[in-house]
Structure 1
Amino acid sequence: MRVLFACYPAHAHFYPFATTAWALQSAGHDVRVATFHGLTNIIAAAGLTPVPLGDPDSIEARFLEDAGLPSAGDEIDRYAQALAIEPHERDAWDVFYQYMLLPCGDYLRPDRPEAAQLVEFTRTWQPDLVIYDPTFPIAAIAAKACGAAQARFLLGPDIYAWSLDRLAAYREQVLAAGLDENPLGSMIKPVAERLGVEMGDDLLYGHWSLDAVSPGLRMPTSAKTVPVRYVPFAGASELPGWLYEKPQRPRVAVSLGVSTRQAYAGSHVRDEAERGENAFEFEANPEVVRLTMLMEALGELDVEVIATLSEGQLAGIPPLPANVRAVHYLPLPQLLPTCTALIHHGGIGTLAAATGAEVPQLIFDTGEAARVVVTVQEDGSIEYAMPDKKVEATWTSTFVMDHGAGERLNHKTQSVEEMRKLIQQVLENQSYRDGARALHDEWLATPGPNDIVPTLEVLTAHHRSR
């Protein structure tokens, strides 16, 4: 059969399903991957065939001057009240409304060509199955346009389905509050209808979802799912010779993720000319305090530290201790098997890499709300204060601690000495290695990408409409 994968143009959105694409390709199926043209070289380097979308001379929609921004005002609070959101649920709703809806809308804009191009491609190529990243809903429209079966590939807890279920359950209260009963559906519907596709729940939930999230991180939803193991993949690159040498001391990896440093001005990765005035910007690198404290804590330990940090992330940081080696980038699946522990920001992909390598983890989590704080200035301008944590950090750190596989770091409440003691505790205590092994065993018990191919074949035959 023909299978089309589609994703938002970011490494962290493509890498999680690359191994599933390989599994289908290795089983003899014809596989393509569609996304904005800027990511196609990464797809080709991964051994898959890209379908480039958009104007080759254009920049990503997220970096346009009129790109969507997190909602201002009290609307998010009004929704939370109408939906009877409990305090422990607030992060999930805020992440959906303030973060996830933004990329969903980037390529649904009427002035963007990607949706029409993708529909034209699917009507010509006629895929049997379309598997897509939920933040790229134009793929759902394109799947329905050609009668293909369609499945979402979940990159994290299914905040989308959870929020949509909640909106449906409290529809009357939402309408009574004068709010849109389905903000995601309202974004998708006009584009679908313009391209001759009828709006329906399949454009919101897919026919089913491939769920690569560990059971302990899943959210209760009405969505039908097929569990699949999140096999870590972060691209391939030539590795330095020293990585093959046996470490003389315990090796600790430090990774704060690539997504943030690719997107935010404080990380100095994107050229300023490619960024619109509305892109999130910081007066200084937001990681300065956290990194300064972490490096001071690690400098006094008898360990070798490999810190995968960019020049932008290191800007403003005091000189690194002698036991710290900074490298711009190393694929975690290649680095972690040589490590005794990993210190990271709490991203789902990083969690998966550590789980696959059976490595104990220390995760930065301030415990604060994931919500963006919006302030309207006297001159009418709007300031956005981003939370000082990865949005899923509380979920991932709690998950790791519940398994006894690591600890939580909080640079806002812990001193350098307290952080140092926690790191040393994880390095020396066998219980954390036992917890990491248990986490790894749970991961192995989930069907791998090759295992689910027959299931995908059966589901595709059942759901495709031509």
Structure 2
Amino acid sequence: MRFLFTTTPGFSHTVPLVPLAQAARLAGHQVLFAAGGPALRAATEAGLTAVDPAPGEDLTAPYIRLASTAIGEELSVEYVMRQVFGAFAEIGDMMLPGLTRTAREWRADVVLYPPMLPAALVAARNAGSLAVEHGIGLRHPVFPLGDGAAAAEAGGQRPLPDVELSLGPESLEKINPTAPADAVPYDVVTMRPCSYNGGGVLPDWALSAPKRPRVLVTLGSVPAHNDTQVGLLREVIRGALGLDAEVVVTSGGSDLAGKLDVDDERVRLMDAFLPLGAVLPTCAAVVHHGGMSTMFSALAAGVPQVVVPTTKGDALTNAQVVAERGAGLALDPAGCTADTVGEAVRRAVREPGFRAVSEVVSAELAAMPDPSDVVEQLARRARAHRS
């Protein structure tokens, strides 16, 4: 069978799809990844064969514009979500012609895409492929199509996927405010989210247990977020140091050492990429921006979280779910000081309930169907779809 994976040009929207792509390839199926920008690089660095569906187009432009304009504290959730929908619709319109052409010419049996790229669903329908919406974390509401994708809808009706792959465990989806309220008219298949965060060279200290509690701090993989949140990072670092912790700060490619001006042997500023899944098992807590990949990596490792949602949308939802489930705490970035962060980190590290709940969710994740099992389900469905 031929599995065509595609995604938006963001690194964090790519890595959740890699485990299933690898599983399909290991099972003997043909796998192709269609993506642009950082997503194309993430796919090829994972050893996958990839194509650019929109050569000559700057797929990252709407994404970068969104990252730099949707982080203001004064912005409403409604305004930010309009920006989110508009940016991803624009990306989908740029990718649609190439996705359709690739799916047809490569004769894709299955097209897999994240919820924010419904243009790929249109491409799958136009190519006669099985359309699979591949979750990247908690379940999402339906994203609107761009003008170009809407005009290309088969039969003038909005198509629906044949299958949705959900990575969210039941205990989180029950409290997920963005999960569809009603039953959907297609099958929802659950799959274990794997804590794959890309490859990288680990420093020699990363795998050993530290002398002090190790607190990992990250604001994600988008440089614009790190560049505009230097003040917040300083407060987070000061707060964690109040616990006498070892603080590991990762970036999205920003020069943190030059911006933060931190002179303390307990702080490790990592300008190079650091795969979170490999470091989290040695951590006492993680402070992060509310990204899906970071949240699920922490849950898989059973590590308590302090979520400081620096954007509105997914980050707010993730912070709410983590706090309500009892796997960590949520802080309002507008009121973040060294004192408030320090108190939250102290509680996450020293109150055993947060780690206990995180370990329960970790066991729940581990019990979900493996990507190799899901591959065979999809292959059977694709054969039936073609017949």
Question: Alpha-carbon deviation of 1:342?
Answer: 0.7
Give 2:51's aligned residue. Answer: 51
Rounded to whole Å, the distance in 1 between the matches of 2:256 and 2:164 is 35
CA 1:70/1:311 → structure 2, altered by over 3 Å: closer, same or farther? closer
Rounded to whole Å, the distance in 1 between the matches of 2:45 and 2:336 is 42
Query: TM-score, normalized by length of structure 1?
Result: 0.72
Map 1:247-396 → 2, pairs under 5 A = 247-259=210-222, 261=223, 264=224, 267=226, 285-309=227-251, 310-312=253-255, 316-328=259-271, 329-365=273-309, 388-396=310-318
Map 1:420-439 → 2, pairs under 5 A = 420-439=342-361
**Retained in 2: the 8 A contact 1:61–1:107?**
no
Give 2:370's aligned residue. Answer: 448
Rounded to whole Å, the distance in 2 between the matches of 1:322 and 1:159 is 42
The code of the aligned residue for 2:211 comes to Q
Deviates more, 1:207-216 or 1:144-153: 207-216
Give 2:73's aligned residue. Answer: none
Indicate yes or no: 2:189 matched with 1:226.
Answer: yes
Rounded to whole Å, the distance in 2 between the matches of 1:256 and 1:37 is 20
Describe the superposition over 1:219-256 as per-residue Cα deviations: whole angstroms up to 9, x where unpaired.
42443311112112111112111223331111111111
Indicate yes or no: 2:119 matched with 1:138.
Answer: yes
Give 1:60's aligned residue. Answer: 59
Rounded to whole Å, the distance in 2 between the matches of 1:417 and 1:66 is 33
Question: Alpha-carbon deviation of 1:447?
Answer: 1.6
Rounded to whole Å, the distance in 1 between the matches of 2:192 and 2:79 is 27
Give 1:184's aligned residue. Answer: 145
CA 1:348/1:320 → structure 2, altered by over 3 Å: closer, same or farther? farther
Deviates more, 1:288-297 or 1:249-258: 288-297
Indicate yes or no: 2:165 matched with 1:210.
Answer: yes
Question: Alpha-carbon deviation of 1:149?
Answer: 0.9
Question: Alpha-carbon deviation of 1:37?
Answer: 6.1
Question: Alpha-carbon deviation of 1:95?
Answer: 5.6
Rounded to whole Å, the distance in 2 between the matches of 1:394 and 1:37 is 26
Q: What do you get for the CA RMSD once the two structures are aligned?
A: 2.9
Give 1:124's aligned residue. Answer: 105
**Retained in 2: the 8 A contact 1:37–1:53?**
no
Deviates more, 1:394-403 or 1:336-345: 394-403
Rounded to whole Å, the distance in 2 between the matches of 1:64 and 1:98 is 10
The code of the aligned residue for 1:100 comes to F
Indicate yes or no: 2:200 matched with 1:237.
Answer: yes
The code of the aligned residue for 1:30 comes to Q
CA 1:146/1:287 → structure 2, altered by over 3 Å: closer, same or farther? same
**Retained in 2: the 8 A contact 1:37–1:54?**
no
Structure 1 segments, 4+ long, off by >4 Å, are 63-67, 93-96, 312-316
The code of the aligned residue for 2:45 comes to A
Rounded to whole Å, the distance in 2 between the matches of 1:311 and 1:415 is 22
Map 1:17-36 → 2, pairs under 5 A = 17-36=17-36
Rounded to whole Å, the distance in 1 between the matches of 2:136 and 2:238 is 33
- Which of 394, 404, 407 is the equivalent residue of 2:326? 404
Describe the superposition over 1:257-295 as per-residue Cα deviations: whole angstroms up to 9, x where unpaired.
013x2xx3x75xxxxxxxxxxxxxxxxx43133122112
Give 1:77's aligned residue. Answer: none
**Retained in 1: the 8 A contact 2:249–2:269?**
yes
Give 2:11's aligned residue. Answer: 11
**Retained in 1: the 8 A contact 2:92–2:146?**
no
CA 1:102/1:316 → structure 2, altered by over 3 Å: closer, same or farther? same
Gaps of 5+ in 2: 71-75
The code of the aligned residue for 2:221 comes to V
Rounded to whole Å, the distance in 2 between the matches of 1:239 and 1:116 is 40
Number of paired residues?
A: 372
Rounded to whole Å, the distance in 2 between the matches of 1:438 and 1:233 is 20
Rounded to whole Å, the distance in 2 between the matches of 1:65 and 1:159 is 21
The code of the aligned residue for 1:201 comes to R
Give 1:148's aligned residue. Answer: 129
Gaps of 5+ in 1: 72-89, 164-182, 268-284, 366-387
Query: TM-score, normalized by length of structure 2?
Result: 0.86
Question: Alpha-carbon deviation of 1:133?
Answer: 2.0
**Retained in 1: the 8 A contact 2:113–2:134?**
yes
The code of the aligned residue for 1:208 comes to V
Rounded to whole Å, the distance in 2 between the matches of 1:254 and 1:234 is 15
